[in-house]
Amino acid sequence: MTKTFTTFFKISVTLSSVFLSKNLTAGQSATISLGSSISTSLHKFDDNRKRTSSNFDVRPSFVLDKGLKISTSINVTKNLENQRELTLNDSYLALSKGLYKFNNGIALSASLALGIPLSKYSRENATLKSSIKLSPRMSYSYKKLNTGVGVSYTQNFHASEVTLDGNSNSQSSYTTYGDIGFSFSDQFSIGASAAYTKSYTYKRNERDSYSIEQNISYSPTSELSFSLGHAIGGNVLSVNGRDSNIEIFDPENSSVYLGVRFIHR
């Protein structure tokens, strides 16, 4: 894992340095985003269910002619409980583009992403080779309000239909999501998002999951931002297969996080 992480990190930094240092033509731009966060569950500190972790990511992106954007990411998670294991997460290489912008604030966009299985679990346990994700989106902006809805379809490619520990791999999934944000000023904003995912195994068995998140952000400059948020998610149905398991807040399943992000253009 360390060798893979080191190699991919060097590639990301090298590509970022090259694109950020070169003389870009009109209509082209390059950005690198650095983010770090710490997340914890709401269990008591002496509870063995307590989960605390930190995350760090690097996201270079390049806008080429005609608004075509290329982006990727490297993401690592450090478990702050028990063995404090450092995990390299899966990555992607994405192409995205704004398709059309109406005069009333509505805009259409789409992205196509190639999944890169870098994590040890995806490569060795789930035997994931790659994935393709298509995501059209519609957004709306009015003064200080921004909102959007979208859908995404993901097709996974595994060497085996089941993981090494006997669980079924997900062959495909559909996600419907929405988000909303409001800016009180140039510095302060709030936001919320929700997503519903239906995934299918290779035997066409269904799985339904959801995620909900709320956050407040403070940006002292256009390059630096801090965020405080709450997240929850899990199976849509309870263990009996009938009752809803969707909750906005639950001390047993919720987590809170504190993050910081720096963007260099």
The pLDDT, as a whole number, for residue 14 is 54
Percent of the chain with pLDDT over 70: 90
**CB atoms closer than 10 angstroms to residue 91:** 19
pLDDT of residue 10: 55
Residue 108 and residue 100 in contact, taking contact as beta carbons nearer than 8 Å = yes
CATH no. for residue 232? 2.40.160.40
pLDDT (0 to 100) of residue 142: 94
The whole-chain average pLDDT of the chain stands at: 91
Report the alpha-carbon distance of residue 220 to residue 125 in Å, rounded.
Answer: 43
pLDDT digits (tens, 9 = 90+) for 11-64: 555 555 555 555 566 668 899 999 999 999 999 988 989 999 999 999 999 998
pTM over 0.75: yes
Query: What single-letter DSSP state applies at residue 67?
Result: G
Q: Using one digit for the tens of pLDDT, what is the confidence trace for 218-258?
A: 999 999 999 999 999 999 998 888 889 999 999 999 999 99
Predicted local distance difference test score (pLDDT) of residue 138: 98
Which domain, by its residues, includes 98? 2-264
Alpha helices (H) in the chain, listed in sequence order: 2-21, 120
Rounded CA separation 196/217 (Å): 24
* Domain count within the chain: 1
Rounded mean pLDDT of 170-184?
98
For 185, residues 6+ apart whose C-beta sits below 8 A from its C-beta are none
Instruction: Go through 163-197 and write b for each residue having 16 or more CB atoms within 10 A of its CB, e for each that does not.
Output: beeeeebbbbbebebebebebeeeeebebbbbbbb
The answer to whether residues 146 and 139 touch, using CB atoms and an 8 Å cutoff, is: yes
Q: What is the model's pLDDT at position 66?
A: 81
Q: Under DSSP, is residue 6 helix (H, G, I), strand (E, B) or coil?
A: helix
